Amino acid sequence: MSLFAAGLNSGPYKLVLVLHIMCAIVGFGAVFLNGLYAAQVRAYKGREGLAISEANYAVSSVAEYLIYAVPILGILLVVLSDKAWKFSQGWVSVSLLLYVVGITVSHMVLRPGHKRMNVLMHELADGGPPAVGAVGAPPQVTEMEAIGKRMAMAGLFLDVLLVVIVYLMVFKPGA
């Protein structure tokens, strides 16, 4: 028996389980529907769209900390489980691996893309619309469209990844 073992029915295990689930719900829930915010940004454009995008970025930044707590609490659950759960079980190790993949995609595509989108939206809002008779869209619009496509693909990938991780947590294959 480990020094930290408590068992699946112990108070410490259940407390950490509640924290793990709450961090997952609030953290992932706050970012799971970011595509809806993006649709609102496109619908409202200008300063209103920028305000929606900046609010979404701020909320996502807070959610990020809760998302970071999820695997820490999950690891603690494995330790507290009194060997009911083991890191060698497929559902644990694959979930951790998929989490790392998801965080990597988020930090390589979504976070910098969203930050750049906000900068471009500021430039457009501060500069106003293109001059009458100007040909083509401003370069910011073209860049925003390209970033938006990458972010949409990454967001869909992360949503599917989250569903797979939740499946692993619920059904625990290999346990």
Check whether 4 has a pLDDT greater than 90. Answer: no
- Weakest-pLDDT range from 8-17, 21-30, 139-148: 139-148
Neighbours of 124 (CB within 10 A): 20
Model pTM score: 0.88
Question: Taking each helix axis from N to C terminus, what angle separates 111-127 and 139-171, rounded to the nearest 10 degrees?
Answer: 150
Q: Is the pLDDT of residue 134 over 90?
A: no
Residue 30 has pLDDT above 90, yes or no: yes
Which one has a higher pLDDT value, 6 or 32? 32
Nearest-angstrom CA–CA distance, 160 and 163: 5
Q: How many residues does the chain have?
A: 175
Q: What is the reported pLDDT for 89?
A: 96
CB atoms within 10 A of CB 30: 18
CA neighbor of 32 nearest in space, from 160, 144, 146, 118: 160
pLDDT in tens, 32-91: 999 999 999 989 988 999 999 999 999 999 999 999 999 999 999 999 999 999 999 999
